[in-house]
């Protein structure tokens, strides 16, 4: 049994030397990661704060437009 294992290891070793593993070619290498673009050089939490502030400004502008342009109650044609 031990002889069989030794013969198997010898066959693997001879195949390994006859056909060595090839290194990965540059085409198959994973791409290098791109540097992360900063969000306007803001700290990570500030981007969310800027979004929330912009959203609040947009809602306030929409409310002001509605108040200025709302015709109020339209009389029914009854």
The per-residue DSSP string of 19-37 comes to SPPPPPPTTTSPPPPPPPP
pLDDT at 47 > cutoff 70: no
**Residues of the chain above pLDDT 70, percent:** 59
Do 49 and 57 form a contact (C-beta atoms < 8 A)?
Answer: no
pTM: 0.33
d(CA 58, CA 66): 12
What is the predicted pLDDT for the residue at 6?
A: 93
Domain ranges of the chain: 1-69
Share in percent of the chain as helix, strand, coil (round to 5): 55, 0, 45
Average pLDDT over residues 43-72: 79
Average pLDDT over residues 25-47: 63
pLDDT at 34 > cutoff 90: no
């Amino acid at each position: 049994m031990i002889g069989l294992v030794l013969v198997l290891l010898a066959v693997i070793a001879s195949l390994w030397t006859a056909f060595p593993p090839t290194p990965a070619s540059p085409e198959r290498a994973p791409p290098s990661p791109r540097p992360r673009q900063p969000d306007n050089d803001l700290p990570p939490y500030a981007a969310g704060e800027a979004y929330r502030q912009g959203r609040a400004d947009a809602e306030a502008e929409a409310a002001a437009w509605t108040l200025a342009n709302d015709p109020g109650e339209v009389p029914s044609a009854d």
